[in-house]
Amino acid sequence: MSDTPSMKKLNMIEAINDALDVMMARDDSIVVMGEDVGYFGGVFRATAGLQKKYGRTRVFDTPISECGIIGVAVGMGAYGLRPVPEIQFADYIYPGLDQLVSEAARLRYRSAGEFTAPITVRSPFGGGIFGGQTHSQSPEALFTHVAGLKTVIPSTPHDAKGLLIAAIEDNDPVIFFEPKRIYNGPFNGYYDRPVEPWARHAGGAVPEGYYRIPLGKARVVRGGEAMTVLAYGTMVHVAEAVLAEKGVDAEIIDLRTLVPLDIETIKASVEKTGKCLIVHEATRTGGFGAELSALVQERCFYSLEAPIERVTGFDTPYPHSLEWAYFPGPVRIGEAVDRLLKA
Amino acid sequence: MSDAGVLRMTDPSRSNLPPLQLHVPEPRFRPGDAVDYSHLVIPPAGVQPRPDEGCAASETHGLCLDLVRVLGEDHKAVGPWDPKLDPESLRRMLRLMALTRAFDDRMYRGQRQGKTSFYMKCTGEEATSIAPAMALASDDMVFPSYRQQGILIARGYPMVDMINQIYSNKADKLKGRQLPIMYSAKEASFFSISGNLATQYPQAVGWAMASAIKGDTRIAAAWLGEGSTAEGDFHSAMTFAAVYNAPVVFNVVNNQWAISSFSGFAGAERTTFAARAIGYGIAGLRVDGNDPLAVYAATRWAANRARANGGPTLIEHFTYRAEGHSTSDDPGQYRSVQERSEWPLGDPVARLAAHLEALGEWTGEAHAAMDLELAEQVKAAAKAAEANGVLGHGLHHPFRTLFEDVFEELPWHLKEQSEQAIRERRIKWPEWKED
């Protein structure tokens, strides 16, 4: 990707803010709401300036009630609006879970298309910021398990904007998890080294105005022959750094959308490389890596030359002081890469 | 003495304190008990004040602990809440309530005859859906719970479509996906019924907020049972409605029973359900739910208030669930059968009929003739629906519809699963062809 006059350098927060701005200007049915999103512009500043530009009836603060935020969004969707609620941290989403799982996800089905829930729930997720167990979780597998929800996770400012626009335009409910560890730069897992800003990363070049990245399309971050690496969000950058450090010619795939999943890109890659490494930050048991592993095994078994490797967070709550012991960083990934190389 | 008790007794510094006691509510009457409702405070009709629709919410708070009543013991309409409906409107109200009751009777029998899996009657509670439906504008959006079939009937939604849904047949507009009576009728401004409790409450607030954002004139109304006021969704909805002054009417149908749990398990031993409005600072009214004129007047008051940007109102309809929760429970197992006959607020259909008779606008003969006619009307609709099939008899929606509407477009994994389902079908019935 090269800089052109229509590109600007943005960090992920700015790219998300830009996507909301572009869409609110295009479509007056879009409303943005959530805790602290109005005048203040959000605790991560993702909605900064929007209330001033679009007014208090389109961008507003809400009571501290995730059940209420999602439930109200479902009703607004039934009216014909296109709400984009923010849940301040993914860890806070559980009081709204029934409204997502039993209501938003099933409304189209249960009403045979009479009512739909064209809602995009934005929420910062993931750890590595010393957030402790209530500001660090990666609960994506709870949502990928639900029929009727789409789950999207960007890994660059460029993708964040294009995917968020596609999510807002989608007529089904979308969970849009933003890896907050990479809001300001592509953190690569080496927490003892400085993080490069997005301005120096190709993914920080963001087209101005409207553009969309279709949901359900993965991105091949890097072509390679030695193994296929499946990752999303922060872990794309961690995996990329570890494999570069080790000099392994891996094919790294950024899934971008977990549901619907780009199975064709995954299948083509694993059939080529014969090895598969899955990396996510979420806890291991029942994590989305288990689904990926099953799919690869079902579809690529006769191409596999080694057992599929899963690198994940541990099955513990996200710790505070021992955050880096929990985090699936370079050592854990490196060990798995070595096993695959030796196989 | 439990181990914990022993431990407590061994702590000498606390030995003089009384043991703590857990209060587990218990209803006054269980199967076999004689029922005496003299503890219920039933004020006379006509004495409750009617504040201006634009009043401060606090002016209604006395009414949250009172009971708005219009129809007196002499069957005359009295007091400031009398909506002064003309005889034609009263007869229409009576007819719609009677039609709802006739519909319930027929569908209940249909379930017992194996034509469907499940049914829920609203016997004794007809006024709480018919009167509000008449008091609201026909395009006000309603977010019902599962016992407001009267709204669809009042709005003229085709009865045969309701029965198609109940029978889950090939003409069911919901494609056989929902449990019977979980209707959805956008054309009647009737939101899809969930089956999960209280979820419709914040949704109604969201719809009302959207209507206000867009400068519309339509308002929203929501219903739930008193038991469901314990859900977090109820309280989220109340908070949002209060915060944004949303144009919404909340109806709590207090029919005394949540399946087998009496209203005490939702807090009725402490205060009324209308009193929830006091804590949220919104308008509240407690109404005789078996008095259709009081229900109509209260809804009208709340709807006018909401439409004039006066904000939300919580209305508790104090009524009685005359029959079981659904076809799946036998109320004789958990409550006294005398409760129904002893209920001090009577029956809404009988009370409205008596009122019309007192006005000289109705007779017993007319009522009997109406009941016969309505039974025939329901019978004809049921027959027409049965031609489209009943549950489990093979006349359902095309097979592929199982996978449709999960998403707007069919993703690859559902295509694969759809192919598998068709394969399974061909294994079981080799001659089967997709319809």
Q: Are A229 and A250 in contact (CB under 8 A)?
A: yes
pLDDT at position B395 is 81
Whether A121 contacts chain B with CB within 8 A: no
Within 8 A of B139 by CB-CB distance, chain A residues are none
pLDDT tens digit sequence for B177-218? 999 999 999 999 999 999 999 999 999 999 999 999 999 999
Compute how many other C-beta atoms are within 10 angstroms of the C-beta atom of residue B409.
Answer: 12
What six digits make up the tokens of A61?
């603060």
Determine the residue among B146, B172, B236 to mutate to test chain A binding: the one whose Cβ has the most chain A Cβ atoms within 10 Å.
Answer: B236
Q: Are A92 and A161 in contact (CB under 8 A)?
A: no
Q: Are A34 and A42 in contact (CB under 8 A)?
A: yes
State how far the Cα of A33 lies from the Cα of A83, in Å rounded to an integer. 8
What six digits make up the tokens of B417?
């699963």
Q: Do B202 and A68 touch (CB under 8 A)?
A: yes
Q: Do A75 and B204 touch (CB under 8 A)?
A: yes
Q: How confident is the model at residue B7 (pLDDT cuts 50, 70, 90)?
A: low
Specify whether A135 is catalytic.
yes
Domains of chain A: 7-182 (3.40.50.970), 216-342 (3.40.50.920)
State how far the Cα of B244 lies from the Cα of B282, in Å rounded to an integer. 11
Whether B230 contacts chain A with CB within 8 A: no
Q: How confident is the model at residue B372 (pLDDT cuts 50, 70, 90)?
A: very high
pLDDT tens digit sequence for B29-61? 999 999 999 999 999 999 999 999 999 999 999
Residues of chain A with pLDDT > 70, as a percent, come to: 99
Three-state secondary structure call for residue B211: helix
Three-state secondary structure call for residue A177: strand
Q: Do B405 and A112 touch (CB under 8 A)?
A: yes
CA-based nearest residue to A178, from A283, A289, A89, A51: A89
Q: Do A216 and B411 touch (CB under 8 A)?
A: yes
Q: Are A239 and A231 in contact (CB under 8 A)?
A: yes
Q: Are A329 and A264 in contact (CB under 8 A)?
A: no
Q: Do A172 and B407 touch (CB under 8 A)?
A: yes
Q: What average pLDDT does this structure show over B115-121?
A: 96
pLDDT at position B6 is 53
Report residue A315 CA to chain centroid gap.
Answer: 20
Whether A102 contacts chain B with CB within 8 A: yes
Within 8 A of B239 by CB-CB distance, chain A residues are 63, 65, 68
Whole-model pTM? 0.96
What six digits make up the tokens of A69?
């935020």
- Select B57-386's CATH number: 3.40.50.150, 3.30.1300.10, 3.40.50.970, 3.30.1600.10: 3.40.50.970
Specify whether B119 is catalytic.
no
pLDDT at position B394 is 79
State how far the Cα of A212 lies from the Cα of A218, in Å rounded to an integer. 14
pLDDT at position B435 is 65
Mean pLDDT value across chain A? 97
Dihedral of CA atoms B365, B366, B372, B374 in degrees, nearest 10, equals -160
Determine the residue among B168, B186, B209 to mutate to test chain A binding: the one whose Cβ has the most chain A Cβ atoms within 10 Å.
Answer: B209
pLDDT tens digit sequence for A254-292? 999 999 999 999 999 999 999 999 999 999 999 999 999
Q: How confident is the model at residue A5 (pLDDT cuts 50, 70, 90)?
A: low
pLDDT tens digit sequence for B82-99? 999 999 999 999 999 999
Tell me, what's the ipTM? 0.96
pLDDT tens digit sequence for A22-45? 999 999 999 999 999 999 999 999
Residue B8 has pLDDT above 70, yes or no: no
DSSP lists the bridge partners of residue B15 as: none
Within 8 A of B178 by CB-CB distance, chain A residues are 110
Q: How confident is the model at residue B1 (pLDDT cuts 50, 70, 90)?
A: very low
Q: Are A70 and A175 in contact (CB under 8 A)?
A: no
Q: Do A103 and B194 touch (CB under 8 A)?
A: yes
Chain B CA closest to residue A147: B406
Residue A3 has pLDDT above 70, yes or no: no
Question: Which parts of chain A fold into alpha helices (H)?
Answer: 12-26, 50-54, 66-79, 97-98, 107-110, 140-144, 157-169, 234-246, 263-273, 288-300, 323-326, 330-342
State how far the Cα of A118 lies from the Cα of B408, in Å rounded to an integer. 10
Residues of chain A with pLDDT > 90, as a percent, come to: 99
Whether B429 contacts chain A with CB within 8 A: no
Q: What average pLDDT does this structure show over A291-299?
A: 98
Residues of chain B with CATH 3.40.50.970: 57-386
Whether B192 contacts chain A with CB within 8 A: yes
Residues of chain B with pLDDT > 70, as a percent, come to: 97
- Rg of chain A over CA atoms, in angstroms? 19
State how far the Cα of A264 lies from the Cα of A271, in Å rounded to an integer. 11
What six digits make up the tokens of B91?
């007869």
pLDDT at position B433 is 81
Q: Are A328 and A281 in contact (CB under 8 A)?
A: yes
Q: Do B202 and A172 touch (CB under 8 A)?
A: no
Of B177, B207, B240, which is closest to A78 when you measure between CB atoms? B207
B134: left (phi over 0), alpha (psi -120 to 50) or beta: alpha
Mean pLDDT value across chain B? 96
If contacts are CB pairs under 8 Å, which of residues 13-32 in chain A contact chain B? 31
pLDDT at position B399 is 84
Q: What average pLDDT does this structure show over A184-209?
A: 96
pLDDT at position B15 is 79
pLDDT tens digit sequence for A104-143? 999 999 999 999 999 999 999 999 999 999 999 999 999 9
Q: Do B206 and A71 touch (CB under 8 A)?
A: yes
Instruction: Match 């409205």 to its residue by tokens.
Output: B352
Residue B314 has pLDDT above 80, yes or no: yes
pLDDT at position B3 is 53
Say how many residues make up chain A. Answer: 343
Q: Do B199 and A81 touch (CB under 8 A)?
A: no
Residue A86 has pLDDT above 50, yes or no: yes
Chain B CA closest to residue A105: B406
Of B206, B243, B407, which is closest to A63 when you measure between CB atoms? B243
